[in-house]
Amino acid sequence: MLNDARSHGLWEMTAPVAPECEALRHQLRADVVVVGGGYTGLSAALHLAEAGKSVAVLEANEIGFGGAGRNVGLINAGMWVLPSDIPSVLGPVHGERLLDLLGNAPYLVRSIIEKHQIDCELETNGTLHCAVGEDGLAEIRQRCAEWAARGADVSLLSAEETAKRIGTTAYAGSLLDRRAGTLQPLAYVRGLAQAAISAGAQVFTRSAAAGFERAANQWIVTTAGGSVTADWIIVASEFYSSGPWECVRNEQVSLPYFNFATRPLDARQLTQILPGREGCWDTKEVLSSFRMDRAGRLVFGSVGALRNTGLSVHRAWAKRSLKKLFPGLGDVEFEAEWHGRIGMTSDALPRFHRFAPNVIGFSGYNGRGIAPGTVFGKTLAHHITGEISQEDLPLPVSDVRPASLRTLKGYYYEAGAQIAHFAGARF
């Protein structure tokens, strides 16, 4: 159980139970050892096991403990960065590869869910990027045009159509992305774990990697209770990394993000608010997101941490904001509340690292973990099996560099969100 109610909130309340996993208590030999039991690590383990490789997954806590069990649950395509900006940062070859891979990543999530019958409240009616004012409308118009030019299934919706789909007149329009959708994020990662185990992978929880060393052209990864000797190591611990690969966390800046979940709405409210169950977020700098879960709870979130004075500030702001967005809700009561941390890289793009010979990993998802994590895990598996060469990977190899002023920037984001939410409602 993930027993901190303020870390996993609604998702722990409603997810199917995780597969039973023990801590590693012996010495083990495998083809690949995967460090981290989130989307990337478990997708890699699943695809490796399906390819006939022996795999051991080492999770420091429980399945979904990190970002996989705390996020909003939006299955987004692409990254925050505009499509036209990515080739200018990565170069035309890797830029185009990354756009193609991540643009289609939600379809991989859907196919895995369907193939393995994962019960995770999947909704496939798309997402709505909601424009706040004329500046927001200009932003989504450009984003829509760039994705449409690449053949993506996207549309720009008027203010009237947006109001019809969401149930509020607050927005100047929206970008409908039909590739995208929503799911129950903790249920999905637990389903990935079960699928990987069923395919033959071994998954160990409460088994933090404490060290690693090279011996006879193999790697030995040690935990408090045992060790795994393997040909390859996949580092998939992302922003919750600690121990030998804490450097992955240190190259990112912490952006806190919270969510509140209402009680289930009544039948009348459900016909008026998000009747199509699209996932939504807006164009404000201190953005907000909202979506429905299967039971009809409205999940509403924004930047900030639910600790110290932030708890009361963000809770009061969320109530004011929901009342302004959806007056028909009346006085809102929350059934669950939780927060986590998003790791932000300097250019808002992910990284591929080769930490040592046969030690590899993707990181830096910038709040887009579900689809990118899933497809990056598959990519790592295909690289190890020889289906994808290093020259054909979607990202170039990059060195791990600590983020400048990361602690100060993290405090700035947390304090700035409190100031913004203390001062205003939403618009």
| pLDDT value at residue 356 | 97
Domain boundary among 140, 155, 178: 178
Query: Do both 263 and 333 map to the same domain?
Result: yes
Q: What is the mean pLDDT of residues 157-166?
A: 98
| pLDDT value at residue 7 | 81
Query: Do both 243 and 187 map to the same domain?
Result: yes
Query: Do both 207 and 114 map to the same domain?
Result: yes
| pLDDT value at residue 423 | 84
Query: Do both 246 and 321 map to the same domain?
Result: no
Confidence of residue 426 (pLDDT cuts 50, 70, 90): very low
Query: Do both 307 and 207 map to the same domain?
Result: no
Query: Do both 258 and 220 map to the same domain?
Result: no
| pLDDT value at residue 5 | 60
Containing structural domain, residue 162:
127-178
| pLDDT value at residue 427 | 41
The number of folded domains in the chain is 3
Domain boundary among 160, 178, 196: 178
Question: pTM higher than 0.95, yes or no?
Answer: yes
| pLDDT value at residue 2 | 57
Query: Do both 290 and 265 map to the same domain?
Result: yes
Closest CA to 5 of 232, 336, 330, 275: 336
Q: Which amino acid appears at position 226 of this protein?
A: G
Query: Do both 333 and 379 map to the same domain?
Result: no
Query: Do both 162 and 187 map to the same domain?
Result: no
Query: Do both 138 and 160 map to the same domain?
Result: yes
Contact 290, 297 (CB under 8 A): no
| pLDDT value at residue 55 | 98
| pLDDT value at residue 395 | 97
Q: Which amino acid appears at position 287 of this protein?
A: L
Query: Do both 195 and 314 map to the same domain?
Result: no
Query: Do both 5 and 143 map to the same domain?
Result: no
User: Half-sphere exposure of residue 19, counting CA atoms within 13 Å on the CB side?
Assistant: 21
Mode of pairing for the β-strands spanning 202-204 and 55-58: parallel
User: In this prediction, what percent of the chain has a pLDDT beyond 90?
Assistant: 96
For residue 197, give the CATH number of its domain.
3.50.50.60
Query: Is the model's pLDDT at 20 over the cut of 90?
Result: yes
For residue 425, give the CATH number of its domain.
3.30.9
Query: Is the model's pLDDT at 1 over the cut of 80?
Result: no
**Structure-token pair, residue 184:** 């129950």
